[in-house]
Amino acid sequence: MDPQRPSRTAEGAAALRVWHTLLDDPPHVFDDSIVRSMLSGPTRLVLHSPPSMVRNAIRAREALQPELAALRGQVVLRSRFAEDALDAALAAGCEQVVILAAGLDTTAQRRPELARSGAIFEVDHPATQAWKRERLPPDLGEAVRFVAMDFEREALDTRLAEAGLRSDVPMFVNWLGCTYYLEPAAVTATFEALGRIAAPGSEIVLDHWLPEPGLNWRPRLLLAGVRFAVALQREPLRCLLTAGELAQHAAAGGWQVAEQLDAKAQRERWLAGRSDTLSLPDFAHVTRLVRA
Ligand SMILES: C[S@@+](CC[C@H](N)C(=O)[O-])C[C@H]1O[C@@H](n2cnc3c(N)ncnc32)[C@H](O)[C@@H]1O
């Protein structure tokens, strides 16, 4: 990442979540309309509910070329996966929530009571976090515990402990939209750091993308397009992992796979029976890990 500049992919992912609520049919897989207020002016300007003629034209296009719908789908399905897991963790009594590579994540806005209780920690690259903090309502800006750091350079466990994270009670970690932008060594280091500070029963939910070999031409083409686009934004893809490789990286930190959904399983769970064109690329996997 460019250390001086907020992450463009963070705003892109947030815009796709809003676009899902404007273009796709209810029920929405993940409703993050609230993030709209944090988007930059130009992005907000183009995000409007399309008139039905335009909607139909977009859908006709997406039926032939599902790539844009697939990018939107991978952003909202990963968030839905994390949200369901967070609901379950909170119901089971979890008291600490860590949002890694938070970008414009809105957990704090959607769960203000949790944020006000001091339970939410947000970790992100300094430039992205500073940019997000300017956009947060002041009371939440005070309540969330922020950690500004670069995963490639600093020790996450030390920084989280300094911010008040307890290692004697379980934590829930949301780590979405990030593994593919890090060097493989930084992915392992993150699992190791979380492993050092995690009480038994802690969980991590994350997504990862499969490498090109093994994918058919359509997701391969999409991945090539994404690779090009994010490199232009100075956030190049650095770490594509098979499910087995992800499990190995995680095991280095003492994390075990509790749930791993490939694209087919996610489509069956969240896209079956939908009347719109929302889809998901084959390379998008989501995983829930636990610390025994
Ligand atoms: C695509 S955004 C994902 C944001 C959010 N989690 C979501 O799902 O919308 C990628 C995030 O990873 C963060 N990131 C990328 N490389 C990083 C690094 N080396 N250290 C800290 N954060 C990093 C960016 O700042 C950005 O917030």
The structural domains of the chain, ordered by start, are 8-291 (3.40.50.150)
pLDDT at 1 over 80: no
* 95 to 67, 239, 256: CA distances (angstroms): 38, 31, 21
Cα 38 to chain centroid, rounded: 16
231-252 pLDDT, tens per residue?
999 999 999 999 999 999 999 9
Residue predicted with more confidence, 292 or 96: 96
SS3 260: strand
pTM over 0.85: yes
Pocket probe mutation, ligand 1, options 4, 7, 150, 154, max atoms within 8 Å of Cβ: 7
Mean pLDDT of 200-225: 96
Q: What's the one-letter identity of residue 25?
A: D
CA distance 147 to 123: 5
Predicted pLDDT of residue 141: 86
> For residue 14, what are its two tokens?
């947030």
Please give all residues whose beta carbon lies within 6 A of any atom in ligand 1, as ranges: 1, 7, 9-10, 13-14, 101-103, 105, 124-125, 128, 150-152, 176-178, 181-182
